[in-house]
Amino acid sequence: MLKTKKVTIQDLKQHAAKQLDHYSIPPGRGEHGTIEIALVKNAVRTFRAHWTGFRATYPKPIMLMKASLNDGSFWTEGHISPDQPSWVLCFRKEAHGFRGTGSERPDDKFAPEFALENSRSVTKQRRDEGEMAVEEIVRYEDFDSPTEAVEEFFNYMSFYCLRSAKLDWSGFGYVTDPSIDWEDMGADVKAAPNVAAMEEGLKRSDILWLSVDTDPTGKPVPCWFVYTKDKRLLVLSGEPEQRIPYAAQVRSAHVVTRWKGRDAQMVEFDAKVKPITAADGEFFKETAQQLVTKRQSVRAGAAETIESWIRDAVILELFPRT
């Protein structure tokens, strides 16, 4: 049975802090909008999507994130849980006129017109009485990985809300509720290496030490790797001397680079991981070709080596989080 390393609320706070730093979002309320972050216990969120009701219930504490435009026209919510699937929800204040009122579809050929009119009337009455929120969900998804949910919270707000309002993150700020005990999370972020330092570390290293989320022990594994000219960071799992626990399920990792020929550490960083397997067909072969040309101890020919990797190996592509 696959066991993954336990993610804590503290881990999620640090990950959120890194995302805030990545988008250069300062503390305080912004001119165009604000991200609010809090720790919530016994959270319940109900919403309506495609005429179906949903209820997300969290008996254990979660990190609640909400990014809203100041005019209330768009907002995104992140219900981030280390214990169960996390939800990211994106809303607009009201449905467009041509979308109706959230009742049956206006082009429903199986419903008589009077039924549509009655449904719209009931919906309006429920909204006027406060039983139904005046909101339309634009996008929603649940995530098994809470760190991925944090990243998608920012992606959803960027793509579905800011782009629609013709804005960007430059007019945003963030505020934290006392419940989250945020302290100075920015200090952890500033300790993260910049892109130039990471690239220098990768170019000057012969191996890297990799700790993956599928290994509950968090034990670093020494790995040979390839950092390509187009800045792809690739690690092979499958050879007898280099096997990553449950490689096909890895989603995040911590990387430490080492000076060539020395036992001295250069730089370390976190990375999002995309496993590439034989099921990816030609993409796997193309990626494997970049690895095999750099492999120093290939005993067979390149084609034969790649065929053996197709049978037994997984390629991990790492995307450094900065």
Residues 139 and 245 in one domain: no
pLDDT band for position 102 (50/70/90)? Answer: very low
Domain boundary among 152, 171, 190: 190
| pLDDT score of 207 more than 90 | no
Domains identified in the chain, total number: 2
Residues 81 and 169 in one domain: yes
Q: Which of 92-101, 159-168, 175-184 has the highest mean predicted lDDT (pLDDT)?
A: 159-168
Listed residue (201, 232, 203, 236) closest to 222, CA to CA: 236
Q: Which of 63-77, 106-120, 204-218 has the highest mean predicted lDDT (pLDDT)?
A: 63-77
Does residue 294 lie within any of the structural domains?
yes
Residues 243 and 297 in one domain: yes
Q: What does the pLDDT read at residue 95?
A: 57
Does residue 42 lie within any of the structural domains?
yes
Give the pair of three-digit tokens for residue 75.
Answer: 């907002």
Residues 88 and 204 in one domain: no
Pick the range with the lowest mean pLDDT from 88-102, 196-210, 232-246, 284-298: 88-102
| pLDDT score of 3 more than 80 | no
| pLDDT score of 248 more than 90 | yes
Does residue 22 lie within any of the structural domains?
yes
Give the pair of three-digit tokens for residue 255.
Answer: 């990387």
Residues 20 and 54 in one domain: yes
Contact 78, 7 (CB under 8 A): no
Domain boundary among 127, 159, 190: 190
pLDDT band for position 318 (50/70/90)? Answer: very high
Does residue 126 lie within any of the structural domains?
no
Mean pLDDT, range 89-106, rounded to an integer: 60
Q: Count of alpha carbons within 13 Å of 78, Cβ hemisphere only?
A: 30
Averaged confidence pLDDT in the chain: 82
Q: What does the pLDDT read at residue 256?
A: 87
Domain boundary among 174, 190, 206: 190
Residues 35 and 89 in one domain: yes
Burial of 102 (0-12, 13-18, 19+ CB in 10 A): buried
Q: What does the pLDDT read at residue 40?
A: 94
Task: Provide the CATH number for the domain around residue 246.
Answer: 2.30.110.10
Dist. CA 144–CA 115, nearest whole Å? 40
Residues 175 and 203 in one domain: no
Residues 184 and 253 in one domain: no
| pLDDT score of 9 more than 50 | yes
Does residue 251 lie within any of the structural domains?
yes
| pLDDT score of 277 more than 50 | yes
Q: What does the pLDDT read at residue 121?
A: 63
Q: What does the pLDDT read at residue 5?
A: 60
| pLDDT score of 105 more than 60 | no
Residues 143 and 176 in one domain: yes
Contact 286, 221 (CB under 8 A): no
Residues 79 and 183 in one domain: yes
Q: Which of 138-147, 236-245, 301-310 has the highest mean predicted lDDT (pLDDT)?
A: 138-147
Position 279, amino acid = A
Does residue 115 lie within any of the structural domains?
no
Using CA atoms, how far residue 137 sits from 57, 89, 241, in Å, is 18, 7, 49
Does residue 72 lie within any of the structural domains?
yes
Does residue 174 lie within any of the structural domains?
yes
Domain extent at residue 215: 195-320
Q: What does the pLDDT read at residue 204?
A: 81
Residues 160 and 286 in one domain: no
Q: Per residue in 16-51, pLDDT tens?
A: 998 898 888 999 999 999 999 999 999 999 887 777
| pLDDT score of 136 more than 70 | yes
Length of the chain: 322
Residues 43 and 30 in one domain: yes
Q: Per residue in 141-173, pLDDT tens?
A: 999 999 999 999 999 999 999 999 999 999 999
